[in-house]
Amino acid sequence: MDKMRENKDLSFDFDFLDNLVVGIGEVAQITSIPTRQIRYWEDKGIITSLTEEEGKNRRYDYKNIKKMLLIKELLDEGYTLDASAEKVKKRMEIIEETLNKLKKGSR
């Protein structure tokens, strides 16, 4: 197995991140943000989940998990929730751009 294969497998595993969905419990585990807080942020419209129907369990994609992590950082720095959310918007745009570039590059 050579560098080419290794590269294909891992070097930015975009395909993987693109298909990723994670439940709220695991997001809490990953981010150390309590489920209760995640739901609150979602109620406020700061993040969005991929819930198929009312009552079904929430699913979060890479983008939103990333967003939570960034917001958490800013909160720790002392920003308010709204200010953090606003600040994160710009970085999210860049992240999305990058993801789209990689998406195109991978086919």
Partner DNA sequence: ATCCATTTTGTAAATTATTTACAATGATTG
Partner DNA sequence: CAATCATTGTAAATAATTTACAAAATGGAT
List the x/- string, 66-85, binding to DNA by CB under 7 A: ---------x----xxx---
> From the centroid of its chain, how far is CA 66?
3
Smallest distance, DNA to C-beta of residue 39, A? 5
Smallest distance, DNA to C-beta of residue 20, A? 15
Distances in Å between the alpha carbon of 78 and those of 67, 68, 87, 95? 17, 15, 13, 23
> From the centroid of its chain, how far is CA 59?
11
Among 39, 61, 69, 87, binds DNA (CB under 7 A): 39
